Amino acid sequence: MGFYTTSISGKLISQQQGSGTLSEGPEYYLIPSGKYAHWKKILIRKKTHLWQEDPILHPFVNRQIKIKADITETKDTITIDYISVILLEN
């Protein structure tokens, strides 16, 4: 637990948030595999405004990826600030 940098693999998904507001837009989550599979989904902080698609993450939605990231993990929550993203499937 705490703050650390590592790589996590899993499926990237996107969900619309803030429906009907000026900040309506996608949030990105990783459905992790391996060591982090006990977390059902992990929020990935995007590097854009709330209403914008993240140009790095969005092309990988619904695909298996490996993400290098700064992880903030507590007993009850986990979030990712991504550094790089690699596609795991063709």
Domain locations along the chain: 2-87
Beta bridge partners of 84: 68
pLDDT in tens, 33-54: 999 999 999 999 999 999 999 9
Tokens standing for 28? 């990105």
Question: Is 10:82 a contact under the CB 8 Å cutoff?
Answer: no
User: Residues 66, 69, 74, CA angle at the centre, nearest 5°?
Assistant: 115
pLDDT, tens only, 7-16: 999 999 999 9
The answer on pLDDT for 89 being more than 80 is no
CATH number (2.20.25, 2.40.50, 3.30.70, 2.120.10) of 2-87 reads 2.40.50
**Structure confidence by residue, pLDDT tens digits, 72-85:** 999 999 999 999 99
